Amino acid sequence: MSSPPVIAVVGPSGSGKTTLLERLMGELVARGYRVAAVKSTHRAAHLDVEGKDSWRLRRAGARAVAIAGSEGCELLVGLPRLPLVELAGLLAAVTPLDLVLAEGFKAEKVPKILVVAQGAATPPVGELLAVWGEGPAPPGVRRFTPGGERELVDLVVRRYLEGGATPD
């Protein structure tokens, strides 16, 4: 199963990772790219709402539950924890994707955007694509400040999407 490019946004809790992901997602989608999001959590992962029919059916033993509505479908499938690239491939098998943006997954071997605060040290995180925030960037790594998300998306598009993606 082939996987679209995956980029993880990493940084300490409360640093602005979700804010950055929202801005990147909005800019990429506005440019016509098909993007999925994956979030890592240390808690049990549940998207379903306790007490709702889909939750009750999953609790009764359904391995998967699909919710079909007038505006589309949502699919709830319980799986073991997968490596990020495998999860991206699985998402791409369900819906066409150009890119997967992930929050967390600092140990995964994918390019990363590190969110840093002013005065914070830049921890080693593997393959570092860029730094976002007011903190320092290691030598040879571009730093983008809040408000510079378009330029960061330009970098992502040049590196990972030009030539392979199919904007709608």
Domains present along the chain, CATH in parentheses: 6-46+80-161 (3.40.50.300)
Q: What is the CA radius of gyration of the chain?
A: 17
Secondary structure of residue 150 in the 3-state scheme = helix
User: How much is the pLDDT for 42?
Assistant: 62
Determine the Cα–Cα distance for residues 38 and 24; give it in Å rounded to an integer: 14
State pLDDT tens for residues 28-57. Answer: 999 999 999 998 876 555 556 777 777 787
Determine the Cα–Cα distance for residues 20 and 82; give it in Å rounded to an integer: 24
pLDDT at 165 over 80: no
The mean predicted confidence, pLDDT, of the chain is 85
pLDDT at 134 over 70: yes
